[in-house]
Amino acid sequence: VHTQRFSVQVEYPVVFTEEVLEVTNADLLWALTHREPGRRHRAFVVLDAGLVAAWPSLVGQVDAYFQAHSTSLELAAKPQILPGGEACKNDPGLIQQLHQQFQAAHIDRHSFVLCFGGGALQDAVGYAAATAHRGLRMVRLPTTVLGQNDSGVGVKNGINAFDTKNFLGTFAPPWAVVNDLSFLTTLERRDRVAGMAEAVKVALIRDGEFFEWLDQNSSQLRAFEPAAVAHLVRRTAELHLAHIATSGDPFETGSARPLDYGHWAAHKLESMTNYELRHGEAVAIGLALDSLYSAGMGLLPCSDARRICDLLRQLGFTLEHPALERWVDGRPQVLDGLAEFREHLGGELTLTLLRGIGSALEVHDVNDEVMLKSLAQLNSALGA
């Protein structure tokens, strides 16, 4: 038996900037060229239609940026404007369209795909890029709170299929990530709030001090005060990046997925509501549920569970939802999310719970009675 063994060093810059397409801002140029400064680089640009609606001059700015840096950069095709939001992850035709366009533009493995948009479009374009020529150089410019603090800085992409969230997808580290905070100013209130769920999540499992900061700054965050939002995005991104770099399992080969605290219920609620609930809105409900459950199991002080629910509400989340009351075959349908969560990962069911704010632990089974009680608590007007 020969044991084949090698390891691959992964490295990509995550740049925080503002006004990324100002011709005088060299951050994007650097992100694209610093590894091979002598070359002229081809890029295929995709823009989220929701973003373009809020920034009508964006296509012109992309053209101007590439013109201004034409010794180093070249557009491989006209920038493509594609619909963003969860709908793009439910449309397999979009992936085929992108593959065809990459092929028509003669995109090769040294070309870049630049995606400006929300987490959903990043996931879909990232999947198309990872599967064309077995992997193009993906440069993400996430334009939502969630995109900049979580999905955009990580190593995953994916689309939904067969009624299952993220059924198709790959692990594919990006070439670079450029977070332009100025894009966040045009987000709808709903998306501003939704993106903060992942901040609360990562604070709960990793960083009690950050939770305290979120709690103390909840009014500024609710008002989307720029300095507070900038800190939330940066700290959340740092915590996600640190986990990926140091957990020893960046490509999630084990059964545990600690960053998915609250996500078993969230993913189920997203599909049960036909994705009418935003990912972050569903995550907030999932966080509240698993916090109440952690308290119900005697792991977390009840006062902490109450604080968590209060903070989520204070940030603007609604923790009650009619889908939580839907029963199928004698039990709440959302509980099917447990089996689906296990299936997505393989191996043994592994749930992350809390034993304190900032301190997580893993369990492998669920007490139905306590879970039902936690669900009832969550959906009652009394909340926690």
Decide: is 187 part of the binding site for ligand NAD (CB under 6 A).
Answer: yes
Nearer to ligand NAD, 37 or 56 (CB): 56
The Cα–Cα gap between 378 and 122 comes to 32
The residue number whose beta carbon is nearest to ligand NAD equals 50
Q: Which of 14, 199, 180, 163 is nearest to 89 (CA)?
A: 163
Decide: is 154 part of the binding site for ligand NAD (CB under 6 A).
Answer: yes
Decide: is 233 part of the binding site for ligand NAD (CB under 6 A).
Answer: no
Decide: is 207 part of the binding site for ligand NAD (CB under 6 A).
Answer: no
Total interface residues for ligand NAD by CB under 6 A: 32
Among 50, 173, 262, 296, binds ligand NAD (CB under 6 A): 50
* Piece in contact with ligand NAD (CB under 6 A), picked from 146-154, 227-235, 242-250, 305-313: 146-154
Nearer to ligand NAD, 51 or 129 (CB): 51
Decide: is 173 part of the binding site for ligand NAD (CB under 6 A).
Answer: no
The Cα–Cα gap between 106 and 114 comes to 15
Nearest distance from C-beta of residue 111 to ligand NAD, angstroms? 22
User: What is the Cα gyration radius of the chain?
Assistant: 21
Nearer to ligand NAD, 149 or 379 (CB): 149
Cβ 116 vs Cβ 46: under 8 Å: yes
Distance of CA 75 to the CA centre of its chain: 27
Count of alpha carbons within 13 Å of 298, Cβ hemisphere only?
1
Beta-carbon contacts of 332 under 8 Å, excluding residues fewer than 6 positions away, are: 324, 325, 326, 372, 375
Decide: is 186 part of the binding site for ligand NAD (CB under 6 A).
Answer: yes
Decide: is 144 part of the binding site for ligand NAD (CB under 6 A).
Answer: yes
Among 41, 69, 89, 192, binds ligand NAD (CB under 6 A): 89
Decide: is 378 part of the binding site for ligand NAD (CB under 6 A).
Answer: no
Nearest distance from C-beta of residue 121 to ligand NAD, angstroms? 6
Among 15, 54, 230, 376, binds ligand NAD (CB under 6 A): 54
Nearer to ligand NAD, 296 or 316 (CB): 316
Label residue 118 exposed, middle or buried (CB < 10 Å: 0-12, 13-18, 19+): buried
Among 115, 194, 214, 288, binds ligand NAD (CB under 6 A): 194
The Cα–Cα gap between 301 and 351 comes to 18
DSSP string, 147-191: HHHTGGGSSB--EEETTEEEEE--B---SEEEEEGGGGGG--HHH
DSSP string, 273-333: TTT-S-HHHHHHHHHHHHHHHHHHTTSS-HHHHHHHHHHHHHHT-----GGGG-EETTEEG
Q: Given the rule CB under 6 A, which residues bind ligand NAD? A: 48, 50-51, 54, 84-86, 89, 117-121, 123, 143-144, 146-147, 150-151, 154, 156-157, 183, 186-187, 191, 194-195, 278-280
